Amino acid sequence: MPEGDCTTYRAKYGTAVSESEAEALVTGICFKTGPPRITGVELEWLIHEPHRLHLPVSPARLEAAYAALRALPLHSLITVEPGGQLELSSLPAASLMECVSAVSADLSLVRDRLAALDLTLTGLGADPWRPPSRILHRPRYDAMERYLDRAGPAGRRMMCSTASVQICLDAGHEEPGPLGYGRRWRLAHLLGPVLVAAFANSPVQDGRSTGWRSTRQAVWASIDPGTSGAPSLDAEPRTAWARHALDAPVMFIRAGGDEEAPWTVPEGLTFRTWARSGGPRPPTRDDLDYHLTTLFPPVRPRGHLELRMVDAQPGEHGWIVPLAVTSALFDDPQAAETAYRALKPLAERACPPGAPAAPRSPLWLDAARHGLADPELREAAAACFAAAAEALPRTGASTEVQEAVAAYAERYVARGRCPADDLLDGHRDGHPYDHEHEKGILR
């Protein structure tokens, strides 16, 4: 490339990155180790009219609501998902209670503002009534839709009709042990299906029971595996993730300069192949960073660990229970060791040789379909909730949070149930969504 062309290229796209540079960058940024003490949460919500939850809210009305919410003095970042789901992303907090307090205050403001607009947040993992309909029409989402459509209709449902509780935790210590990043990485993948089962909350789609406790998880398991699959757990985590990221398909290539220009959606192009071939143009560091945002495994390393497998929860405070349980099991050394030992028997089903990786492995699919009706998952969940309950006082959790976890364990875990079972009971009685369900555990 002539010098003049190089200058133009850098101004338009940035400096090109080679295959070895890309692998080194991913290895360096995916697990940032240090004392595990930072917690965060990302909450996705469906938005409906109170008592008219089966009716769609118009895009114009949603846009007006988002504008009103963005004017609020919130600690959390507000973003909008392609189908109109609202997401609140907390700032990193030094403790569980700091995170709970900040996000609870933000949610109170959000709910009050939405109530004034005759709208409400609904905690469900998947919309039970409305077909997927995208309200955001931007080059990123246009290209993402074209890419995901190649694997079938699940991609559109994932984009437009699902909502989750995403729990963010420090990667861990550099050294081995219960709080080391290697152990925490493996613990996250073993605990993942237990969290899917215990908090499954999306058994209805298009007004009908789907046969899954977590239809949301079933949807994620149906999209392109190169985008949603987990890497091998047999290799060292940094190496495994870097290899996985470079070998994953490139979802799209952004247009340079013109933000409204359509993006290219290549077919069968991995980032590694792109870096080697340099076509249709050499990838840059910005392209690599963007590529990493298009990978959606159940556990995503982004410097910290992002656990993405929990359905959105009912009630104003239902999200606190999965956050509290997971934080306790990761950040208390005794609880982390207890949970790891309790979960090890699940490893054969979680990642058997020759089987697809999560979220398509047998255990992950059983968790999404059966919830805690699966005996092994129920036993593991009971052990993990007990370990978390013992650890929460040591981590500084409030009495209210401790009582919420205990109440959830009694109401669901001890009985081999999950919130989806409440919805299915109502669905069989002719009421697919009950406002009593939305009240949740914490009142």
| DSSP states of 168-187 | EE---BSSSSTTBHHHHHHH
pTM for the model: 0.93
The C-alpha atoms of residue 307 and residue 32 are separated, in whole angstroms, by: 16
pLDDT at 202: 98
Structural tokens at position 69: 């919410």
In eight-state DSSP terms, residue 284 is: B
SS3 content of the chain, % helix, strand, coil (to 5): 50, 15, 35
Residue 429 — very low, low, confident or very high, per pLDDT cuts 50/70/90?
low
pLDDT at 3: 42
Lowest mean pLDDT among 2-11, 106-115, 148-157, 376-385: 2-11
The C-alpha atoms of residue 369 and residue 202 are separated, in whole angstroms, by: 10
Within 10 angstroms of residue 240's Cβ, the number of other Cβ atoms is: 18
The C-alpha atoms of residue 438 and residue 162 are separated, in whole angstroms, by: 17
- Terminal C-alpha separation, the chain: 64
Report the amino acid identity of residue 257: G
Q: Mean pLDDT score of the chain, rounded to an integer?
A: 91
Structural tokens at position 308: 């993405």
Q: Which residue has the tokens 């609870």?
A: 104
User: Closest by alpha carbon to 405, among 421, 422, 420, 390?
Assistant: 390
Q: Look at strands 120-122 and 164-169 and give their pairing.
A: unpaired
What percentage of the chain reaches a pLDDT higher than 90?
Answer: 82
The sign one gets for the Cα dihedral 110, 116, 117, 120 is positive
Average pLDDT over residues 244-256: 93
Largest pairwise CA distance in the chain: 72
Give me the residues paired with residue 44 across strands: 87
Residue 5 — very low, low, confident or very high, per pLDDT cuts 50/70/90?
very low
Tens of pLDDT, residues 280-337: 889 999 999 999 999 999 999 999 999 999 999 999 999 999 999 999 999 999 999 9
pLDDT at 6: 40
pLDDT at 443: 37
Residue 428 CB-density burial (10 A; 0-12 exposed, 13-18 middle, 19+ buried): exposed
Within 10 angstroms of residue 95's Cβ, the number of other Cβ atoms is: 16
pLDDT at 53: 83
pLDDT at 8: 42
CA count, 13 A, side-chain hemisphere, 392? 24
Average pLDDT over residues 90-109: 97
Report the amino acid identity of residue 191: L
Structural tokens at position 197: 């089962």
Which residue stretches of 14-95 are H helix? Answer: 19-29, 59-70
Structural tokens at position 225: 């595996």
Average pLDDT over residues 141-148: 95
| Whether the predicted pLDDT of 51 surpasses 90 | no
pLDDT at 35: 75
- Kindly provide the residue ranges of all beta strands, DSSP E only, lying in 18-171, ordered along the sequence: 39-48, 77-80, 86-89, 120-122, 164-169
| Whether the predicted pLDDT of 80 surpasses 70 | yes
Q: Which residue has the tokens 């114009």?
A: 60
Residue 139 CB-density burial (10 A; 0-12 exposed, 13-18 middle, 19+ buried): middle
Average pLDDT over residues 80-97: 96
The C-alpha atoms of residue 364 and residue 360 are separated, in whole angstroms, by: 6
Which residue stretches of 261-319 are H helix? Answer: 271-277, 285-293
pLDDT at 158: 97
